[in-house]
Chain A
Amino acid sequence: SAVISQKPSRDICQRGTSLTIQCQVDSQVTMMFWYRQQPGQSLTLIATANQGSEATYESGFVIDKFPISRPNLTFSTLTVSNMSPEDSSIYLCSVEARGERAPHSYNEQFFGPGTRLTVL
Chain B
Amino acid sequence: GQQLNQSPQSMFIQEGEDVSMNCTSSSIFNTWLWYKQDPGEGPVLLIALYKAGELTSNGRLTAQFGITRKDSFLNISASIPSDVGIYFCAGQNYGGSQGNLIFGKGTKLSVKP
A113–B42 contact, CB under 8 A? Answer: yes
* Per-position 1/0 for A27-42, Cβ under 8 A of B: 0001101000000011
- Chain B positions within 8 Å of A112 at CB level: 42
Point out the residue from B1, B43, B96, B100 that lies within 8 Å of A105, measured CB to CB.
Answer: B96
Chain A min CB distance to B63 (Å): 12
Point out the residue from B40, B50, B97, B103 that lies within 8 Å of A103, measured CB to CB.
Answer: B50
Q: Is A74 an interface residue (CB 8 A)?
A: no
* Per-position 1/0 for B5-44, Cβ under 8 A of A: 0000000000000000000000000010101000011111
* Per-position 1/0 for B46-61, Cβ under 8 A of A: 0110100000001000
- Chain A positions within 8 Å of B95 at CB level: 105-106
Within 8 A of A (CB), among B80-100: 88, 95-98, 100
Query: Contact residue range for chain B?
Result: 20 to 34
A111–B44 contact, CB under 8 A? Answer: yes
A105–B101 CA distance with the chains assembled, in angstroms: 17
Q: Is B67 an interface residue (CB 8 A)?
A: no
B97–A30 contact, CB under 8 A? Answer: yes
Query: Contact residue range for chain A?
Result: 20 to 34
A31–B31 CA distance with the chains assembled, in angstroms: 18
- Chain B positions within 8 Å of A101 at CB level: 45, 47-48, 58
Q: Is A11 an interface residue (CB 8 A)?
A: no
Residue of A at shortest CB range from B35? Answer: A111
Q: Is B105 an interface residue (CB 8 A)?
A: yes
Q: Is A80 an interface residue (CB 8 A)?
A: no
B48–A99 contact, CB under 8 A? Answer: yes
Chain A min CB distance to B37 (Å): 8
Q: A45-B101, A58-B100 are in contact. Are A111 and B50 (CB under 8 A)?
A: no
